[in-house]
Amino acid sequence: MISSSEAVGGVWSCGPPTGRVRNKNYLWRVKSPASHLRHCTSPYFTSKVVTPPLHYICPGLFKASSQVRQLPLRYASTRQPPKMTGQVNIDPKDIQAHLSSYEGDKYVEGWAALWDKGDSLPWDRGFPNPALEDVLVQRRAIIGGPIAQDAQGRLYRRKALVPGCGRGVDVLLLASFGYDAYGLEYSASAVEVCKKEAKEHHSRYPVQDQALGRGKVSFVQGDFFDDAWLQKIEGSANGFDLVYDYTFFCALRPVLRPKWALRHTQLLAPSPAGKLICLEFPLHKDPQAAGPPYGLSSEMYMAHLTHPGEEIPYDDKGRVQYDPQQGPSEAGLERVAYWQPERTHKVGQGENGVIHDRVSVWSRRT
Ligand SMILES: C[S@@+](CC[C@H](N)C(=O)[O-])C[C@H]1O[C@@H](n2cnc3c(N)ncnc32)[C@H](O)[C@@H]1O
Protein backbone atom coordinates (compact mmCIF):
# COMPACT_ATOMS: atom_id res chain seq x y z
CA MET A 1 0.00 0.00 0.00
CA ILE A 2 1.31 3.40 -0.85
CA SER A 3 1.04 6.08 1.76
CA SER A 4 0.14 9.52 0.55
CA SER A 5 3.35 10.98 1.93
CA GLU A 6 5.43 8.63 -0.17
CA ALA A 7 3.50 8.52 -3.35
CA VAL A 8 4.58 11.59 -5.22
CA GLY A 9 7.38 11.27 -7.70
CA GLY A 10 8.43 14.54 -9.25
CA VAL A 11 10.79 14.82 -12.16
CA TRP A 12 12.96 17.78 -12.87
CA SER A 13 12.95 18.11 -16.61
CA CYS A 14 13.31 21.78 -17.28
CA GLY A 15 14.94 22.83 -20.51
CA PRO A 16 15.51 25.80 -22.72
CA PRO A 17 12.99 26.42 -25.53
CA THR A 18 14.75 23.97 -27.82
CA GLY A 19 13.43 21.18 -25.60
CA ARG A 20 16.90 19.98 -24.58
CA VAL A 21 17.01 18.65 -21.08
CA ARG A 22 19.41 20.38 -18.74
CA ASN A 23 19.60 17.79 -16.02
CA LYS A 24 18.50 14.36 -17.05
CA ASN A 25 20.62 12.35 -14.67
CA TYR A 26 18.58 12.67 -11.53
CA LEU A 27 15.09 12.02 -10.35
CA TRP A 28 13.86 14.28 -7.59
CA ARG A 29 11.70 12.56 -5.06
CA VAL A 30 9.56 14.79 -2.93
CA LYS A 31 7.79 14.20 0.33
CA SER A 32 4.49 15.91 -0.16
CA PRO A 33 1.03 16.05 1.39
CA ALA A 34 -1.58 14.10 -0.56
CA SER A 35 -3.35 17.31 -1.47
CA HIS A 36 -0.64 17.94 -4.03
CA LEU A 37 -1.18 14.67 -5.81
CA ARG A 38 -4.15 15.90 -7.74
CA HIS A 39 -2.16 18.67 -9.31
CA CYS A 40 0.90 16.65 -10.02
CA THR A 41 -0.65 13.65 -11.60
CA SER A 42 -2.99 15.70 -13.75
CA PRO A 43 -1.13 18.80 -14.77
CA TYR A 44 -2.88 21.22 -17.02
CA PHE A 45 -0.24 21.60 -19.62
CA THR A 46 -1.03 22.52 -23.17
CA SER A 47 0.74 23.38 -26.40
CA LYS A 48 4.28 23.41 -25.01
CA VAL A 49 7.24 21.40 -26.14
CA VAL A 50 9.33 22.18 -23.08
CA THR A 51 8.50 20.64 -19.73
CA PRO A 52 8.68 23.21 -16.96
CA PRO A 53 10.03 22.32 -13.53
CA LEU A 54 7.28 20.85 -11.40
CA HIS A 55 7.26 23.78 -9.03
CA TYR A 56 5.90 25.92 -11.88
CA ILE A 57 2.96 23.55 -12.17
CA CYS A 58 2.33 22.76 -8.53
CA PRO A 59 3.99 25.49 -6.51
CA GLY A 60 3.23 23.80 -3.17
CA LEU A 61 5.15 20.72 -4.12
CA PHE A 62 8.62 22.18 -3.76
CA LYS A 63 7.96 24.05 -0.53
CA ALA A 64 11.30 23.53 1.11
CA SER A 65 14.53 22.30 -0.37
CA SER A 66 14.94 19.98 2.63
CA GLN A 67 11.92 18.07 1.35
CA VAL A 68 13.64 17.26 -1.91
CA ARG A 69 16.21 14.54 -2.35
CA GLN A 70 18.04 13.55 -5.41
CA LEU A 71 18.00 9.96 -6.63
CA PRO A 72 20.47 8.70 -9.19
CA LEU A 73 18.57 7.63 -12.26
CA ARG A 74 19.63 4.03 -12.82
CA TYR A 75 17.46 3.05 -15.68
CA ALA A 76 17.82 5.36 -18.63
CA SER A 77 21.52 6.07 -18.38
CA THR A 78 22.98 2.63 -17.71
CA ARG A 79 20.67 0.23 -19.47
CA GLN A 80 22.18 -1.94 -22.18
CA PRO A 81 20.09 -3.68 -24.81
CA PRO A 82 19.76 -7.33 -23.87
CA LYS A 83 20.55 -10.06 -26.35
CA MET A 84 17.50 -11.22 -28.26
CA THR A 85 16.10 -14.45 -27.02
CA GLY A 86 14.50 -15.67 -30.24
CA GLN A 87 15.55 -15.81 -33.84
CA VAL A 88 14.48 -13.23 -36.41
CA ASN A 89 12.99 -15.92 -38.52
CA ILE A 90 10.75 -14.01 -40.93
CA ASP A 91 11.93 -11.61 -43.59
CA PRO A 92 10.14 -8.18 -43.60
CA LYS A 93 9.37 -8.52 -47.32
CA ASP A 94 7.77 -11.88 -46.66
CA ILE A 95 5.65 -10.22 -44.01
CA GLN A 96 4.25 -7.72 -46.50
CA ALA A 97 3.51 -10.46 -49.00
CA HIS A 98 2.00 -12.63 -46.31
CA LEU A 99 -0.27 -9.88 -44.93
CA SER A 100 -1.42 -8.78 -48.36
CA SER A 101 -3.01 -12.19 -48.80
CA TYR A 102 -5.39 -11.45 -45.91
CA GLU A 103 -8.23 -9.30 -47.20
CA GLY A 104 -10.36 -6.73 -45.38
CA ASP A 105 -11.10 -7.57 -41.75
CA LYS A 106 -9.06 -10.77 -42.02
CA TYR A 107 -5.91 -8.64 -41.97
CA VAL A 108 -5.50 -9.10 -38.26
CA GLU A 109 -5.57 -12.89 -38.72
CA GLY A 110 -2.50 -12.39 -40.88
CA TRP A 111 -0.67 -10.93 -37.87
CA ALA A 112 -1.76 -13.84 -35.71
CA ALA A 113 -0.50 -16.32 -38.31
CA LEU A 114 2.88 -14.56 -38.30
CA TRP A 115 3.24 -14.89 -34.54
CA ASP A 116 2.26 -18.54 -34.84
CA LYS A 117 5.29 -19.02 -37.11
CA GLY A 118 7.97 -17.36 -35.01
CA ASP A 119 8.49 -15.77 -31.64
CA SER A 120 10.77 -12.99 -32.80
CA LEU A 121 9.67 -10.97 -35.78
CA PRO A 122 11.71 -8.26 -37.54
CA TRP A 123 10.07 -5.24 -35.86
CA ASP A 124 10.83 -6.69 -32.43
CA ARG A 125 13.94 -5.06 -30.87
CA GLY A 126 13.68 -7.16 -27.71
CA PHE A 127 13.83 -4.18 -25.35
CA PRO A 128 11.81 -0.97 -24.85
CA ASN A 129 12.50 2.02 -27.00
CA PRO A 130 14.74 4.40 -25.01
CA ALA A 131 12.49 7.24 -26.16
CA LEU A 132 9.73 5.78 -23.98
CA GLU A 133 12.08 5.55 -21.00
CA ASP A 134 12.96 9.19 -21.50
CA VAL A 135 9.29 10.18 -21.62
CA LEU A 136 8.64 8.35 -18.35
CA VAL A 137 11.64 9.88 -16.63
CA GLN A 138 11.81 13.36 -18.06
CA ARG A 139 8.26 14.25 -19.05
CA ARG A 140 6.26 13.28 -16.05
CA ALA A 141 4.93 16.81 -15.77
CA ILE A 142 3.19 16.24 -19.09
CA ILE A 143 2.02 12.65 -18.80
CA GLY A 144 1.45 12.51 -15.03
CA GLY A 145 3.00 10.12 -12.53
CA PRO A 146 1.85 6.57 -11.87
CA ILE A 147 -0.20 7.39 -8.77
CA ALA A 148 -3.33 9.52 -8.58
CA GLN A 149 -6.06 10.23 -6.07
CA ASP A 150 -9.77 9.64 -6.60
CA ALA A 151 -12.64 11.89 -5.52
CA GLN A 152 -12.75 10.15 -2.13
CA GLY A 153 -9.08 10.85 -1.57
CA ARG A 154 -7.95 7.25 -2.16
CA LEU A 155 -4.71 6.70 -4.00
CA TYR A 156 -4.71 4.44 -7.02
CA ARG A 157 -2.36 3.40 -9.77
CA ARG A 158 -3.01 4.95 -13.15
CA LYS A 159 -3.65 2.55 -16.01
CA ALA A 160 -1.45 2.39 -19.08
CA LEU A 161 -2.33 0.52 -22.27
CA VAL A 162 -0.03 -0.63 -25.06
CA PRO A 163 -2.08 -1.71 -28.11
CA GLY A 164 -0.35 -4.19 -30.43
CA CYS A 165 2.27 -4.71 -27.73
CA GLY A 166 4.19 -7.49 -29.53
CA ARG A 167 6.64 -9.06 -27.06
CA GLY A 168 5.32 -6.82 -24.27
CA VAL A 169 8.59 -5.08 -23.34
CA ASP A 170 6.97 -1.62 -23.14
CA VAL A 171 4.26 -2.99 -20.88
CA LEU A 172 6.89 -4.35 -18.49
CA LEU A 173 8.71 -1.02 -18.56
CA LEU A 174 5.53 0.94 -17.72
CA ALA A 175 4.83 -1.40 -14.78
CA SER A 176 8.39 -0.93 -13.50
CA PHE A 177 7.65 2.79 -13.32
CA GLY A 178 4.56 2.06 -11.19
CA TYR A 179 1.70 2.16 -13.70
CA ASP A 180 -0.80 -0.71 -13.88
CA ALA A 181 0.13 -1.77 -17.38
CA TYR A 182 -1.98 -3.62 -19.95
CA GLY A 183 -0.62 -5.15 -23.13
CA LEU A 184 -3.14 -5.87 -25.88
CA GLU A 185 -2.33 -8.30 -28.66
CA TYR A 186 -4.58 -9.83 -31.25
CA SER A 187 -2.24 -12.80 -31.51
CA ALA A 188 -2.71 -15.42 -28.79
CA SER A 189 0.84 -16.63 -29.51
CA ALA A 190 2.19 -13.13 -28.92
CA VAL A 191 0.40 -13.03 -25.57
CA GLU A 192 2.22 -16.24 -24.63
CA VAL A 193 5.52 -14.66 -25.72
CA CYS A 194 4.69 -11.66 -23.47
CA LYS A 195 4.06 -13.89 -20.48
CA LYS A 196 7.33 -15.73 -21.12
CA GLU A 197 9.17 -12.41 -21.40
CA ALA A 198 7.69 -11.28 -18.07
CA LYS A 199 8.67 -14.53 -16.37
CA GLU A 200 12.14 -15.04 -17.82
CA HIS A 201 13.34 -11.44 -18.00
CA HIS A 202 11.78 -9.95 -14.92
CA SER A 203 15.18 -8.66 -13.78
CA ARG A 204 15.48 -6.41 -16.85
CA TYR A 205 12.68 -4.28 -15.45
CA PRO A 206 13.71 -3.29 -11.92
CA VAL A 207 11.30 -1.16 -9.91
CA GLN A 208 12.21 2.43 -10.62
CA ASP A 209 11.17 3.88 -7.31
CA GLN A 210 10.76 1.65 -4.26
CA ALA A 211 8.29 4.10 -2.73
CA LEU A 212 5.99 3.73 -5.72
CA GLY A 213 6.61 0.03 -6.32
CA ARG A 214 5.69 -1.97 -9.39
CA GLY A 215 2.33 -1.77 -11.11
CA LYS A 216 0.28 -4.79 -12.10
CA VAL A 217 1.03 -6.37 -15.49
CA SER A 218 -1.79 -7.83 -17.62
CA PHE A 219 -1.52 -9.22 -21.10
CA VAL A 220 -4.76 -9.73 -22.95
CA GLN A 221 -5.71 -11.16 -26.31
CA GLY A 222 -8.17 -9.13 -28.35
CA ASP A 223 -8.84 -6.81 -31.23
CA PHE A 224 -8.11 -3.15 -30.55
CA PHE A 225 -11.26 -2.23 -32.42
CA ASP A 226 -13.75 -4.16 -30.32
CA ASP A 227 -14.66 -4.29 -26.64
CA ALA A 228 -14.37 -8.02 -25.84
CA TRP A 229 -10.86 -7.67 -24.37
CA LEU A 230 -11.97 -4.76 -22.18
CA GLN A 231 -14.44 -7.07 -20.49
CA LYS A 232 -11.70 -9.67 -19.94
CA ILE A 233 -9.67 -7.17 -17.93
CA GLU A 234 -12.76 -5.62 -16.31
CA GLY A 235 -11.84 -2.37 -17.98
CA SER A 236 -14.16 0.33 -19.16
CA ALA A 237 -14.45 2.81 -21.99
CA ASN A 238 -12.26 5.85 -21.46
CA GLY A 239 -10.52 4.02 -18.65
CA PHE A 240 -6.85 4.39 -19.64
CA ASP A 241 -4.77 7.25 -18.29
CA LEU A 242 -1.90 6.54 -20.65
CA VAL A 243 -1.92 4.86 -24.04
CA TYR A 244 1.40 4.25 -25.76
CA ASP A 245 1.27 3.79 -29.52
CA TYR A 246 4.50 2.65 -31.15
CA THR A 247 4.71 0.58 -34.33
CA PHE A 248 0.97 0.07 -34.09
CA PHE A 249 -0.41 2.90 -36.25
CA CYS A 250 2.12 2.04 -38.94
CA ALA A 251 1.16 -1.65 -38.75
CA LEU A 252 -2.46 -0.99 -39.69
CA ARG A 253 -3.80 -0.79 -43.21
CA PRO A 254 -4.21 2.89 -44.13
CA VAL A 255 -7.97 2.40 -44.52
CA LEU A 256 -8.14 1.75 -40.74
CA ARG A 257 -6.63 5.13 -39.79
CA PRO A 258 -9.93 6.97 -39.12
CA LYS A 259 -11.09 4.05 -36.98
CA TRP A 260 -7.73 3.93 -35.19
CA ALA A 261 -8.03 7.58 -34.17
CA LEU A 262 -11.65 7.16 -33.09
CA ARG A 263 -10.77 4.14 -30.99
CA HIS A 264 -8.13 6.11 -29.11
CA THR A 265 -10.78 8.68 -28.14
CA GLN A 266 -12.92 5.81 -26.80
CA LEU A 267 -10.13 4.35 -24.67
CA LEU A 268 -8.40 7.45 -23.33
CA ALA A 269 -9.49 8.88 -19.95
CA PRO A 270 -11.00 12.37 -20.02
CA SER A 271 -8.81 15.45 -20.02
CA PRO A 272 -6.54 16.38 -18.41
CA ALA A 273 -5.58 12.97 -16.97
CA GLY A 274 -5.70 10.88 -20.16
CA LYS A 275 -2.63 11.11 -22.39
CA LEU A 276 -1.93 9.30 -25.62
CA ILE A 277 1.81 9.03 -26.27
CA CYS A 278 2.67 8.41 -29.92
CA LEU A 279 6.23 7.54 -30.79
CA GLU A 280 5.88 8.52 -34.42
CA PHE A 281 7.54 6.04 -36.75
CA PRO A 282 8.49 5.56 -39.58
CA LEU A 283 8.64 9.20 -40.66
CA HIS A 284 11.44 8.68 -43.19
CA LYS A 285 9.71 6.05 -45.26
CA ASP A 286 7.94 6.97 -48.48
CA PRO A 287 4.21 6.83 -47.67
CA GLN A 288 3.62 5.19 -51.04
CA ALA A 289 6.04 2.36 -50.39
CA ALA A 290 4.67 -1.04 -49.47
CA GLY A 291 3.90 -1.68 -45.82
CA PRO A 292 3.70 -2.55 -43.08
CA PRO A 293 5.30 -0.58 -41.71
CA TYR A 294 3.51 2.12 -43.69
CA GLY A 295 5.43 5.38 -44.07
CA LEU A 296 3.88 8.08 -41.90
CA SER A 297 4.26 11.78 -41.19
CA SER A 298 3.51 13.95 -38.17
CA GLU A 299 0.80 15.57 -40.30
CA MET A 300 -0.91 12.20 -40.64
CA TYR A 301 -1.02 11.78 -36.87
CA MET A 302 -2.30 15.34 -36.58
CA ALA A 303 -4.97 15.04 -39.27
CA HIS A 304 -6.38 11.75 -38.00
CA LEU A 305 -6.19 12.33 -34.26
CA THR A 306 -7.72 15.81 -34.46
CA HIS A 307 -10.55 14.46 -36.64
CA PRO A 308 -11.18 10.92 -35.42
CA GLY A 309 -13.49 8.77 -37.50
CA GLU A 310 -13.39 11.19 -40.44
CA GLU A 311 -12.11 10.34 -43.89
CA ILE A 312 -8.94 12.38 -44.40
CA PRO A 313 -7.94 13.22 -47.97
CA TYR A 314 -4.51 12.16 -49.26
CA ASP A 315 -2.83 13.40 -52.43
CA ASP A 316 -1.42 11.19 -55.20
CA LYS A 317 1.98 11.08 -53.42
CA GLY A 318 0.40 9.57 -50.32
CA ARG A 319 0.69 12.85 -48.39
CA VAL A 320 -2.13 13.88 -46.15
CA GLN A 321 -4.05 17.00 -47.20
CA TYR A 322 -4.16 18.80 -43.93
CA ASP A 323 -4.38 22.49 -43.09
CA PRO A 324 -2.43 23.03 -39.84
CA GLN A 325 -4.63 26.05 -39.09
CA GLN A 326 -7.62 23.75 -38.84
CA GLY A 327 -8.45 23.05 -35.19
CA PRO A 328 -9.62 19.72 -33.82
CA SER A 329 -13.20 18.58 -34.28
CA GLU A 330 -15.40 18.42 -31.21
CA ALA A 331 -14.46 14.78 -30.61
CA GLY A 332 -10.87 15.34 -31.72
CA LEU A 333 -7.72 15.07 -29.65
CA GLU A 334 -5.40 18.00 -29.06
CA ARG A 335 -1.66 17.71 -29.37
CA VAL A 336 -0.30 18.99 -26.07
CA ALA A 337 3.40 18.30 -26.66
CA TYR A 338 5.68 17.38 -29.55
CA TRP A 339 9.43 16.90 -29.68
CA GLN A 340 12.34 15.08 -31.22
CA PRO A 341 13.51 12.40 -28.81
CA GLU A 342 17.18 12.39 -27.81
CA ARG A 343 17.34 8.62 -28.16
CA THR A 344 15.39 6.06 -30.11
CA HIS A 345 15.81 2.64 -31.67
CA LYS A 346 18.27 2.57 -34.58
CA VAL A 347 15.41 1.83 -36.93
CA GLY A 348 14.11 5.35 -36.25
CA GLN A 349 17.41 6.96 -37.23
CA GLY A 350 19.00 7.87 -40.54
CA GLU A 351 22.37 6.54 -41.65
CA ASN A 352 24.20 9.43 -40.00
CA GLY A 353 22.39 8.91 -36.71
CA VAL A 354 19.87 11.70 -37.30
CA ILE A 355 16.75 10.92 -35.35
CA HIS A 356 13.68 10.84 -37.54
CA ASP A 357 11.21 9.70 -34.89
CA ARG A 358 9.10 12.23 -33.02
CA VAL A 359 7.13 12.01 -29.82
CA SER A 360 3.67 13.53 -29.69
CA VAL A 361 1.37 13.62 -26.68
CA TRP A 362 -2.39 13.96 -27.07
CA SER A 363 -5.28 14.74 -24.81
CA ARG A 364 -9.05 14.70 -25.16
CA ARG A 365 -10.70 18.09 -25.20
CA THR A 366 -13.20 17.15 -22.49
C1 LIG B 1 4.50 -4.06 -35.96
S2 LIG B 1 4.00 -5.03 -34.60
C3 LIG B 1 4.60 -4.06 -33.25
C4 LIG B 1 4.77 -4.80 -31.97
C5 LIG B 1 5.34 -3.97 -30.81
N6 LIG B 1 4.61 -2.73 -30.62
C7 LIG B 1 6.80 -3.70 -31.04
O8 LIG B 1 7.19 -2.51 -31.16
O9 LIG B 1 7.59 -4.63 -31.05
C10 LIG B 1 2.26 -4.72 -34.57
C11 LIG B 1 1.55 -5.63 -33.59
O12 LIG B 1 0.17 -5.26 -33.55
C13 LIG B 1 -0.62 -6.43 -33.44
N14 LIG B 1 -1.94 -6.07 -33.97
C15 LIG B 1 -2.23 -5.72 -35.25
N16 LIG B 1 -3.52 -5.40 -35.37
C17 LIG B 1 -4.07 -5.53 -34.12
C18 LIG B 1 -5.37 -5.31 -33.59
N19 LIG B 1 -6.37 -4.91 -34.36
N20 LIG B 1 -5.57 -5.52 -32.28
C21 LIG B 1 -4.55 -5.93 -31.48
N22 LIG B 1 -3.30 -6.15 -31.92
C23 LIG B 1 -3.06 -5.95 -33.23
C24 LIG B 1 0.13 -7.47 -34.24
O25 LIG B 1 -0.17 -8.79 -33.84
C26 LIG B 1 1.59 -7.10 -34.00
O27 LIG B 1 2.16 -7.84 -32.95
Question: Residue 110 C-alpha to ligand 1 middle, in angstroms?
Answer: 11
Question: Residue 185 C-alpha to ligand 1 middle, in angstroms?
Answer: 6
Q: How confident is the model at residue 81 (pLDDT cuts 50, 70, 90)?
A: low
Q: How high is the pLDDT of residue 25?
A: 30
Q: How confident is the model at residue 82 (pLDDT cuts 50, 70, 90)?
A: low
- Asked whether 166 lines ligand 1 (CB < 6 A), one says yes
Taking the CA of residue 111 as reference, the ligand 1 atom at the shortest distance is 25
Nearest residue by C-alpha to atom 8 in ligand 1: 247
d(C-alpha 226, C-alpha 360), whole Å:
25
- Asked whether 308 lines ligand 1 (CB < 6 A), one says no
Q: How confident is the model at residue 71 (pLDDT cuts 50, 70, 90)?
A: very low
Q: Which of 105, 116, 185 has most ligand 1 atoms within 8 Å of its beta carbon, as the pocket-test mutant? A: 185
Q: How confident is the model at residue 70 (pLDDT cuts 50, 70, 90)?
A: very low
Residue 72: pLDDT over 70: no
Nearest residue by C-alpha to atom 12 in ligand 1: 164
Residue 329: pLDDT over 80: yes
What average pLDDT does range 243-266 have in this prediction? 98
Q: How high is the pLDDT of residue 89?
A: 59
- Asked whether 189 lines ligand 1 (CB < 6 A), one says no
Residue 356: pLDDT over 60: yes
Q: How high is the pLDDT of residue 79?
A: 54
What average pLDDT does range 264-273 have in this prediction? 97
Question: Residue 112 C-alpha to ligand 1 middle, in angstroms?
Answer: 9
What average pLDDT does range 344-354 have in this prediction? 94
Closest by alpha carbon to 39, among 133, 140, 136, 179?
A: 140
Question: Residue 109 C-alpha to ligand 1 middle, in angstroms?
Answer: 11
pTM, entire model: 0.81
DSSP track, 247-265: SSGGGS-GGGHHHHHHHHH
Mean pLDDT for the chain? 80
d(C-alpha 125, C-alpha 136), whole Å:
19
- Asked whether 165 lines ligand 1 (CB < 6 A), one says yes
Domain 122-364 has CATH 3.40.50.150: yes
- Asked whether 229 lines ligand 1 (CB < 6 A), one says no
Least confident range of 38-47, 278-287, 342-351: 38-47
Taking the CA of residue 225 as reference, the ligand 1 atom at the shortest distance is 19
Q: Which of 174, 186, 249 has most ligand 1 atoms within 8 Å of its beta carbon, as the pocket-test mutant? A: 186
pLDDT in tens, 298-328: 999 999 999 999 999 999 999 999 898 889 9
pLDDT higher for 322 or 132? 132
d(C-alpha 21, C-alpha 133), whole Å:
14
- Asked whether 185 lines ligand 1 (CB < 6 A), one says yes
> What's the sign of the alpha-carbon dihedral 208, 214, 216, 219?
positive
What average pLDDT does range 349-359 have in this prediction? 95
All structural domains of the chain with their residue ranges: 122-364
Residue 330: pLDDT over 70: yes
Question: Residue 279 C-alpha to ligand 1 middle, in angstroms?
Answer: 14
Q: How high is the pLDDT of residue 92?
A: 74
Closest by alpha carbon to 9, among 176, 150, 168?
A: 176
Least confident range of 59-68, 165-174, 187-196, 353-362: 59-68
- Asked whether 127 lines ligand 1 (CB < 6 A), one says no
Report which listed range, 73-77, 86-90, 192-196, is most confident: 192-196
Q: How confident is the model at residue 80 (pLDDT cuts 50, 70, 90)?
A: low
- Asked whether 260 lines ligand 1 (CB < 6 A), one says no
Going by their DSSP bridges, the two strands 9-10 and 26-30 should be labelled as antiparallel
User: Is 166:124 a contact under the CB 8 Å cutoff?
Assistant: yes
Residue 201: pLDDT over 50: yes
pLDDT in tens, 9-62: 222 222 222 333 333 332 333 333 333 332 232 222 222 222 333 322 232 222
Question: Residue 255 C-alpha to ligand 1 middle, in angstroms?
Answer: 16
- Asked whether 164 lines ligand 1 (CB < 6 A), one says yes
